[in-house]
A and B are shown apart, each in its own frame.
Chain A
C-alpha cells in the first residue's frame, strides 16, 4: 500500500489517477479548492477500495497555505510515497496579452505556486530518502508559440525546475517525474475543436500511473508527443517565427 497525495484532485486527469490508486487499495490525500467536489471524489475512491481517503480544501495558488499541506499529510498518513501535482489553468492567451495582471496570475498558478510546493516537497522527500514527486507540465513548455506562450512559459519554467530537482534528489533516492501531456479532452479544453491527436483523460491517467510505477524521469503522454515535439523543437527559429502555431 502506498500513501499518495494528489494536488488539484478535482481535475479530470487527477480524478482518473485517484481511481486507479484507489482500486489498488492505496491511501489517498486529496487536495483541491471545492469541498463538495472533493467529497464526491473521496466517496468514489473509498467505494473502489482505497485503504483510507483524506481531503483538504485549500486554494493551492496561495503560497502561504503550502506548509500546512505537508504538516497535514504527515499527521494523517505518516509518510508520503507519491506526490502528484495536477492542478493548473489554461488561461486565455489573448487576455494575457492585454493585461499584465492576468499574465502574472497565470504564472503564479501554473509555475510559481508549483515551485513553492516543490521546494517544500523536496525537503520533505529528501528527509525520508524515498518516494516520487510527479508534476504535470505540458508539451506547451517545450517551445514558445504565439497561441499560448504565457501558459508555455509557466510550464517551460516548471520543466526546468523539475530537471534541476531531479538532479539534486537522485542522490537521495527520490524520483522526480515530469509529465508532458499533449491534447487532452477535459473541461479545461472543452471549447477546442477536437482532432485525431486528442485523447481522453483516463488514457493520460493510465500513462501517469505507469510512468510512476516504472520510476521514469520524463513522460510524454501519449508517447508520440515525444516525436512531435522533437520535430517542433528542431525547426529553425527563422522559419518557426513565421509559422502560426
Chain B
C-alpha cells in the first residue's frame, strides 16, 4: 500500500488518501486502522472529487486490464473493470466494432464510465454509456460477489450505473458494441452567430446526424452571445483497411504545469475570437480519433491550467427553459471573463438511462473549464448554480468539485432512494460534500 497521492483530472481539490493497487479480480482489500472507507480509482479522469476519498483508501484498478470474453460475431465484450476505452478500441476496431457511446477521452476505465454513466456526442441517438451495459460484477464489502444485469440484482444494477462508485467495487463489465464499416467519420462544421443559431442547427441536425456537439465562444456578448461552431458527423461507409487500425496515442504532452499568468482575460478572448473566425472547415472524412478525442492528442493537457488546477462546470438545462437558461448562464460567464478555451454545448436526447442517479436528461448541456483562482472562481460557480437550480436543471457530479449539498439535493431528488444501495464501507470526497447537513 502506498501513500502516493492520486489526484483528479482538475487537480482540485487536493486530498490525502492511501491507495491499494489491485492486481487480480480475486484480490482482497486490506482495511487499515482509522481508514474506514474504500473507493475504486481507475484512470482519475473525473474532474473534481468524485474519484477521491480524503482520509480513506483508493482501490487502484489500472492493473485489472484483462479481457474476459469477446464475441466478434455478436459484438459482445466482457472485461475487467480497469480496462480503458483505448484498450477496448484497440481490440474491437480491427474487427469492425466501435464503442456504442464514448466520452471525449478514450483514457477512462470501463468501471469509471459505468460509475459516472458517461455520455457522448450521440446522446440524442444512443443515450448514456449505461444503456449499453448488459451486466457487470459487483464486489461488496461483506465479500459478496454479485452479478448485476437487467434480470439479476436489478436494483443494484440501476443504482451502480451512475452510482459514483458508491455501491461497491465493479469487478467486470459486459458491453454491447456497435457495428461499423470503417474508422472514418464524415464530418461537417457549421458556424452559428448566436445562441439561436445553435438551437436551430441542433433541431435540423439531430435527426440525420448521429454525432453532434458545438464549441462556443464563451467571451462573446450582446448579439454575438453564444456564437460558435456546430460539428456533426456520421460513421462513414468506406472500409479502408480497418483491420490494420492501431490506436493513436499522444505525441505531444504538457511536460510541466503552465505558469498561472498564461491564461488571462486577453489570451482567452484572443483565442476564442480567432477560433471562431478561423477559415471555413470543409466537409470531409475525419479519422475517428481526432473527431472524438481531440484533447487526447496532448498528454496532460490539464497542466495548462497551472498547479492550482481548474474546475469544470457542466450542467443540463431542461428543454422548456433551455434557450433562456443557457443565455442567462452565458451572460454571467462572458461578463465575468474567467471562461476558457474549451466550452461545449450539446443537445441531450430523451433516451432514459437505467441509472438511478444518472445525470443526463432531456435538454441542453453546457460545459466549460475555469482555472482555479480561489474564492472568485467558487463564487462564480455559485452564481451559475443559482441559474441552473431555477430552471430545474442539474450539475454533472463527474465534473464537479464545488456544488453545495443543497444544490445537489435539488438536482438529484432521487438521492435518498439511491443511498439505500450504497455499500456502508464505500464513500467518496464528493459524496460526503454533497450529502452533509447544512
Contacts and interface: CB of A to CB of B under 8 A. Distances in A.
B66 A43 contact: yes
Interface in A180-197: 187, 190
Contacts of A37: 24
Contacts of A48: 67, 70, 91
Interface string A36-75: 1100110110111000000000000000000000000000
A47 B23 contact: no
A187 B23 contact: yes
Contacts of A44: 66-68
A43 B67 contact: yes
A40 B66 contact: yes
Contacts of A46: 69
Contacts of B21: 190
A37 B91 CA distance: 21
B327 interface: no
A44 B23 CA distance: 14
A40 B137 CA distance: 15
B26 interface: yes
B25 interface: yes
Nearest to B21: A190
A41 B79 CA distance: 12
Interface string B68-86: 1110000001011000000
A43 B2 CA distance: 30
A244 B314 CA distance: 55
A190 B2 CA distance: 9
Given A47-B91, A48-B91, A190-B21, A36 B26 contact: yes
Interface string A182-217: 000001001000000000000000000000000000
B392 to A, nearest CB: 44
Contacts of A41: 66
Contact of A47 (B24, B25, B26, B70): B70
Interface residues of B, number: 15
A43 B80 CA distance: 11
Interface string A137-170: 0000000000000000000000000000000000
B304 to A, nearest CB: 24
A214 B68 CA distance: 31
Which among B23, B25, B77, B80 has the greatest number of chain A C-beta atoms within 10 A?
A: B23
Interface in B39-94: 66-70, 77, 79-80, 91
A190 B4 CA distance: 12
Contacts of B70: 47-48
Given A47-B67, A47-B68, A40 B25 contact: yes
Nearest to A194: B4
Which among B67, B69, B91 has the greatest number of chain A C-beta atoms within 10 A?
A: B67
A195 to B, nearest CB: 14
B129 to A, nearest CB: 20
A40 B67 CA distance: 8
Interface in A1-49: 36-37, 40-41, 43-44, 46-48
Which among A36, A46, A47, A187 has the greatest number of chain B C-beta atoms within 10 A?
A: A47
Contacts of B77: 47
Contacts of B26: 36
A17 to B, nearest CB: 14
Counting from the closest, the 8 A-B pairs by CB-CB distance are A47-B67, A44-B66, A47-B70, A44-B67, A43-B68, A40-B66, A187-B23, A37-B24
14 contacts: A36-B26, A40-B24, A40-B25, A40-B66, A41-B66, A43-B67, A43-B68, A44-B66, A47-B67, A47-B91, A48-B67, A48-B91, A190-B2, A190-B21
Interface of B: 2, 21, 23-26, 66-70, 77, 79-80, 91
Interface of A: 36-37, 40-41, 43-44, 46-48, 187, 190
Given A47-B67, A47-B79, A190-B21, 16 more contacts: A36-B26, A37-B24, A40-B24, A40-B25, A40-B66, A41-B66, A43-B66, A43-B68, A43-B69, A44-B68, A47-B69, A47-B77, A48-B70, A48-B91, A187-B23, A190-B2
